[in-house]
Each structure stands twice: as structure tokens, then as C-alpha cells.
Amino acid sequence: MSEYPFNYLISIKYTPTGKAYTFGTDEEDIEEGHFVVLETAQGLELGEVVKGSWSIEEYSGNLEIKPIVRKATLEDRVAHEENIELAKEALKFCQKQVDELGLQMNLISAQYTLDRRKILIIYLADERVDFRELLKRLAAELHCRIELKQIGDRDKAKLVGGIGTCGREICCHNFLNTFEVVGISMAKNQLLSLNAAKLSGQCGKLMCCLRFEDEIYKEMIAGLPKMNSQVEYNGNVYRLTGLNLLNDYVKLENKDEVVNISLKQLREEVVPHKVEQPKKKEKINE
């Protein structure tokens, strides 16, 4: 017997690229693409179903699951669309007040709850902002609860979207739900040029895609000599000056010649060059 007071679960998203959340229901005919009304920490919101009714018995987690409020009606859908337009007007009014007050904050978006009892305004700022006077002006105009939320550069890029250096829509706006840590070591593992401009995304941080193939590259370079290190091949000493893992290309150079070999040869036929240390002179006791 399930500990939850409903028989089915559904997965919903508030935005197309947002995180999926699980809610409970007794309705067995809720399908992907349907809309439902939900009670969230922000208030009543409209969510789109990304996975229809599935049995509560399939759920193996232990997190609290809340029930949906109801299936969305035509009135709910109309109210949601009206709220989008009203939020745009509210954002314009807020921007005007920000300019008049000289506040150092960059407004990103505004969103009403379904019942318009609350509006969430998201902004970007380098430092803490004193917006007490701004709240007073907004409350007098909008007549609802107001929440101002400061976000970082990566969150802004996810909200705004754009085209990456690859020519496709940036990953965070397209499909990423959470931000993982991306380090410069991931670029080194892929033997990329450490050019900050080329490695940074629209948020100014290292591109999230550097993480996608990091584990594969770490496996591929494991045990290989480091770039610019001295190695021995066919009895001669070279410097490793080129390495392309995807094209199976290795370049060895010395003052007399350039040699191109495969990764297999690099692993099996090339060894690190050992430099003999000069022997220490023995002290002669007089």
C-alpha cells in the first residue's frame, strides 16, 4: 500500500528548459503536453506535463510529493497568456523606476503567479542593491506581493538564451537543468588552446560543453607523454609537438626531421627520454 494519498505521478516543467518536477494525482488520463495547475513556493503556477500518469508503485524515491491542484482549464490558459503580457508591462515600469533611482541592477525578467497575487522580478547585479524605495513604488503600482531575486551570469544566460560558438543554441537554454562545475583541467584534457575568449560561453564562464566528453578524453590521454616532452622513437630523441586524438595523429620533431606516427605507435613504440644526470665529483681528502 502506497504511503501517498494518490495513485499516479506526473512529471512537469514550468519552462521548456527548466527542471522536471514530480507531482501526484488520481487522474489516470493526464498525458504529455497537457497543462496542470500547481501549488508551489511561489504560489499557483501553470505547468506543462512532460511525462503522463504513471503508477505510484514505480516511484523509488523518498522525497515529499505534493498533489496537483487541478487540470488546467481554458480560463487558466488564457490567464497565463495574459499574465505574460502584464509581466512585460510590469518589467517596463520597474526599469523606469530603476533608472530614476539610479540603481545598479540589470533587470532580466518578470513573472506573475497564475492568480496574480505575486510577481517575481529577476535581476543581475555585481553588488548588493538597496531596493527598499523601489519596492515601495512597485507595490503602489502593481498591488500585489513583490519578490526581487538576484541571479548570477550563468543563470542569466540560461534565461536569455543565444547561439554558441558551435552555431547551435547554447546548452543551458536548450536542455541543461542544472549547472555542474567546469574546470580549466577539462580544456587541458582535450588539448585545447587555453584561450579564455574561445573557451568562455555567453555567461563569461567556461563553456558547459567542456564537461560532456571529459571522461572520454581522460581515458584517451591516460599514460601518454605530455606535450613538448622529450621522447625516444626508433633510437632517436624527439620532442612531442603535435597530438590529435580524434584524427589519430602524433607529431614528433627534432632538429633534423619531423616524424608523423599513430596513437598506437605512440603507446607501444615511444618511450620517455631519460636524461642522464652528471656524476658528482668525489672530494679528495688532502
One-letter-per-residue 3-state SS of the chain: CCCCCCCEEEEEECCCCCCCEEEEECCCCCCCCCEEEEECCCCEEEEEEEEEEEEHHHCCCCCCCCECCEECCHHHHHHHHHHHHHHHHHHHHHHHHHHHHCCCCEEEEEEECCCCCEEEEEEECCCCCCCHHHHHHHHHHHCCEEEEEEECHHHHHHHHCCECCCCCECHHHHCCCCCCCCCHHHHHHCCCCCCHHHHECCCCCECHHHHCCHHHHHHHHCCCCCCCCEEEECCEEEEEEEEECCCCEEEEECCCCEEEECHHHHHHHCEECCCCCCCCCCCCCC
Question: Domain ranges in the chain?
Answer: 8-72, 78-151, 167-216, 230-272
What pLDDT, on the 0 to 100 scale, is given for residue 96? 96
> Which regions of the chain are under pLDDT 50?
1, 286
- Condensed to tens digits (0 to 9), the pLDDT of residues 172-189 reads 888 887 788 899 999 988
What pLDDT, on the 0 to 100 scale, is given for residue 87? 96
- Condensed to tens digits (0 to 9), the pLDDT of residues 227-248 reads 899 999 998 999 999 999 888 9
pTM: 0.67
What pLDDT, on the 0 to 100 scale, is given for residue 1? 40
Query: Under CATH, which number does the domain 78-151 receive?
Result: 3.30.300
